[in-house]
Amino acid sequence: MQNAKDTFYVALRNRLAILNPARQVEIRGVQRPAILVEEAEAPMKELPNDTFVLRWTAATALEDLPVRLMQLVCEVHYATSGSQPNAGLDRGRAMTEMDRELLDILTPMCAPKMSYTTTPATALATNVFWSEPQLAALETVRDQLLRVASIQVLAFDEPGEA
Amino acid sequence: MSTATIIAPLSLPLIGFRTRAYFAPVNRTSGTPTLFDPAENVTWNYSKPPAPWIDLGWIRNFTRTAESTITDINAGMPAVVKMQTRQKLAATVAFDFTTWSKLTMALATSSQHMNVLAPGNSSVAIGSGAKAAAALPLQATSTANLLYLPSGTSSALVAGSMVVVDEDYTGQIGFVGNPVSAAYVQSATAVGNDPDYIRRVSFNVGRITSIGSDGGLHLAYPLPGGVPSSTMKVQQIIGLLDREGGSFFQEWSALFVVEGVQGERLCFHYPLLQSCAPAAEMTTSMTQSLQMILPSARFSAFPVIDGNDGEQVICYRTYYPSGVALI
């Protein structure tokens, strides 16, 4: 299951880096594509602006198949306050841009599953695949616009997989 | 670089994305379908299929219904089953297209599909469109993407106009239309000797995207029939029309493809499909005031003779397993 989560994150991160190289965030002094996994970072008081934050929530297993099929729910949280030069008045446009980027990096809706516990990463046998996102209504908290997109991420639990 | 294999081949269920439809014309005169050869076409580009296949995009509610029947042959007293025989070979296919176009409308109706030609000066109303404004000849320098009218010709064509390019009707009997048989003319009288009749049903259509400084009409995509012949003329289309009624049945070759999430593919190939239901729509409510309207299609499958063993076949189902699947 961890391989599926890692694969999903890395696939989206790599696609974002190509789609919009300018969308970067500085984490612990390092510039990187502005997408991160919440459970793999230090606890945050509030969502960082202009960054996609992946939060893994529910998980179910389908056991009546030849190979167990794991179904995970990934919530992608993102927020923006717009840009300083525009005094935040462009926050709606900035949110629309993030919506579009998220939809774009989720296509195609599958990626070869990898194990990132080795260097270099090891290719596994199957693909991780996922659903179209369900975009929740926008929320406003002070100067921030916030959105949550929910995605069903599915992967076969391969025999011998850690 | 070698890739570590950590497991033996897996027995996996087929989980697929949506179904995609591809159609190709049938030579109606000879009854020859366009065959999808699963061996030759293993590297088929599903995003850009080879001519004459046309990608019609994702479809919804794809349903295959086998209507073939098998009956027992009994013998003895009391009667016991001695063998089985195939009594009937038949199948239908139904689905909804997600777009409206000349081709999806035509496939979703069981009669001729017509182009509504820009009208001339006739004041006589006709349900399928009044007599058309005169067709314009094309210069020999025209190509599949670029049409040239004779110099000095004035026309109502502008960027955005839809056009049809095909021959005059001059008394032909039988299948007419380029590059697809679009109708069957039983007699010149039946079509009123209308010189525009072939262009009224033709699939050789396009949309003008711009008009060049030399007067050339640039098309958004190449004409399906390729470079126009010297006898072809152009007319403006203002709409697309089908009818409840008529004596013609559309017949096409079809391929439906389900792409699996592990890279496998399931292909259903019907060499001969004829529309078997009148024009109908599937309506999906989106909000209280918005609805999505999709052309519904239903087809009967007809048999072909398989080239390997001479058996009559109406559908081929091919499964291309993924690289890890147990076979």
A chain contacts of residue B6, beta-carbon cutoff 8 Å: 122, 124-125, 158, 160-161
Per-residue pLDDT at B8 = 63
**Contacts (Cβ under 8 Å, ≥6 apart) of A23:** A16, A33, A34, A50, A101
Which of A67, A71, A126 is the mutation pick for testing B, counting most B CBs within 10 A?
A: A126
ipTM exceeding the 0.85 mark: no
B306 vs B326, which has greater pLDDT? B306
Q: Which residues of A29-39 are buried (b: 16+ CB within 10 A; e: fewer)?
A: eeeebbbbbee
Residue-level length of chain A? 162
Q: How confident is the model at residue A65 (pLDDT cuts 50, 70, 90)?
A: confident
Distance (Å) from the C-alpha of residue B298 to the closest C-alpha of chain A?
29
Mean pLDDT value across chain B: 92
Q: How confident is the model at residue B2 (pLDDT cuts 50, 70, 90)?
A: low
Nearest C-alpha in A relative to B10: A67
Per-residue pLDDT at B245 = 87
Per-residue pLDDT at B49 = 92
Q: Are strands A52-62 and A35-37 parallel, antiparallel or unpaired?
A: parallel
Q: How confident is the model at residue B177 (pLDDT cuts 50, 70, 90)?
A: very high
Distance (Å) from the C-alpha of residue A67 to the closest C-alpha of chain B?
7
Whether residues B11 and A67 touch (CB distance < 8 A) is answered with: yes
- Tokens coding B200: 């009224």
DSSP labels for A49-115? Answer: BT-EEEEEEEEEEE-SSSS-EEEEEEEEEEEE---TTTTTTTHHHHHHHHHHHHHHHT-SSEEEEEE
Burial group, residue B92, by CB count within 10 angstroms (0-12, 13-18, 19+): middle
Q: How would you write chain B as a 3-class SS string? A: CCCCCCCCCECCCCCEEEEEEEEEECECCCCECCCCCCCCCCCCCCCCCCCCCEEEEEEEEEEEEECCEEEEEEECCCCEEEEEEEEECCEEEEEEECCCCHHHHHHCCCCCEEEEECECCCCCCCCCCCCECCCEECCCCCCCCEECCCCCCCCCCCCCCEEEEEECCCCCCEEECCCCCCEEECCCCCCCCCCCHHHHHCCCEEEEEEECCCCCEEECCCCCCCCCCCCEEEEEEEEEEECCCCCCCCEEEEEEEEEECCCCEEEEEEEEEEECCCCEEEEEECCCCCEEEEEEEEEEEECEECCCCCCEECCEEEEECCCCECC
Question: What's the predicted TM-score (pTM) here?
Answer: 0.88
User: Could you give the C-alpha distances from A124 to A3, A160, B52, B161, B318, in angstroms and in order?
Assistant: 9, 10, 38, 53, 26
Q: What is the DSSP letter of A43?
A: -
Nearest by CB to residue B12, choosing from A67, A110, A123, is A67
Whether residues B261 and A110 touch (CB distance < 8 A) is answered with: yes
- Tokens coding A37: 């996994």
Per-residue pLDDT at B19 = 95
Whether residues A125 and B4 touch (CB distance < 8 A) is answered with: no
Nearest by CB to residue B10, choosing from A123, A154, A158, is A158
Distance (Å) from the C-alpha of residue B95 to the closest C-alpha of chain A?
22
**Is B216 within 8 Å of B141 (Cβ atoms)?**
no
B chain contacts of residue A69, beta-carbon cutoff 8 Å: 13
Size of interface A-B (CB pairs under 8 A): 49
B chain contacts of residue A126, beta-carbon cutoff 8 Å: 10, 12, 262, 324
Between A2-19 and A91-105, two packed helices, what is the crossing angle to 10 degrees?
120
Q: How confident is the model at residue A162 (pLDDT cuts 50, 70, 90)?
A: low
Nearest C-alpha in A relative to B15: A129
Distance (Å) from the C-alpha of residue A135 to the closest C-alpha of chain B?
16
Q: How confident is the model at residue B4 (pLDDT cuts 50, 70, 90)?
A: low
Query: Is residue B173 pLDDT above 90, yes or no?
Result: yes
**How many whole angstroms separate alpha carbon B154 and alpha carbon B158?**
11
Nearest by CB to residue A129, choosing from B6, B8, B261, is B261
Nearest C-alpha in A relative to B9: A125
- Considering only CB atoms, which residues of chain B are within 8 Å of chain A? 3-8, 10-13, 15, 17, 261-263, 323-324
**How many whole angstroms separate alpha carbon B103 and alpha carbon B109?**
10
Q: What is the DSSP letter of A35?
A: E
In tens, the pLDDT along B257-279 reads 999 999 899 999 999 999 998 88
Per-residue pLDDT at B261 = 92
Whether residues B17 and A161 touch (CB distance < 8 A) is answered with: no
Residue A156, classed as helix, strand or coil, is strand
In tens, the pLDDT along B139-151 reads 999 999 999 998 8
Burial group, residue B97, by CB count within 10 angstroms (0-12, 13-18, 19+): buried
Whether residues A158 and B7 touch (CB distance < 8 A) is answered with: yes
**H or E stretch including A145?**
strand A144-156
Q: Are strands B113-117 and A69-80 parallel, antiparallel or unpaired?
A: unpaired
Nearest C-alpha in B relative to A118: B4
Per-residue pLDDT at B3 = 58
Q: Which residues of B301-321 are buried (b: 16+ CB within 10 A; e: fewer)?
A: bbebeeeeeeeeebbbebebb
B155 vs A75, which has greater pLDDT? A75
Per-residue pLDDT at B291 = 93
Whether residues B17 and A158 touch (CB distance < 8 A) is answered with: no
Which of B2, B3, B12 is the mutation pick for testing A, counting most A CBs within 10 A?
A: B12
Residue A158, classed as helix, strand or coil, is coil
Nearest by CB to residue B10, choosing from A123, A125, A154, is A125
Percent of chain A with pLDDT over 90: 88
Query: Is residue B61 pLDDT above 60, yes or no?
Result: yes
Q: How confident is the model at residue B122 (pLDDT cuts 50, 70, 90)?
A: confident
Query: Is residue B5 pLDDT above 60, yes or no?
Result: no
In tens, the pLDDT along B184-231 reads 999 999 999 999 999 999 999 999 999 999 999 999 999 999 999 999
Query: Is residue B123 pLDDT above 80, yes or no?
Result: no
Distance (Å) from the C-alpha of residue B222 to the closest C-alpha of chain A?
28
**Is B219 within 8 Å of B207 (Cβ atoms)?**
yes
Q: How confident is the model at residue B11 (pLDDT cuts 50, 70, 90)?
A: confident
**Is A115 within 8 Å of A3 (Cβ atoms)?**
yes
Distance (Å) from the C-alpha of residue A89 to the closest C-alpha of chain B?
30
User: Could you give the C-alpha distances from B115 to A111, B23, B99, B204, B258, in angstroms and in order?
Assistant: 44, 20, 17, 10, 32
**Contacts (Cβ under 8 Å, ≥6 apart) of A140:** A146
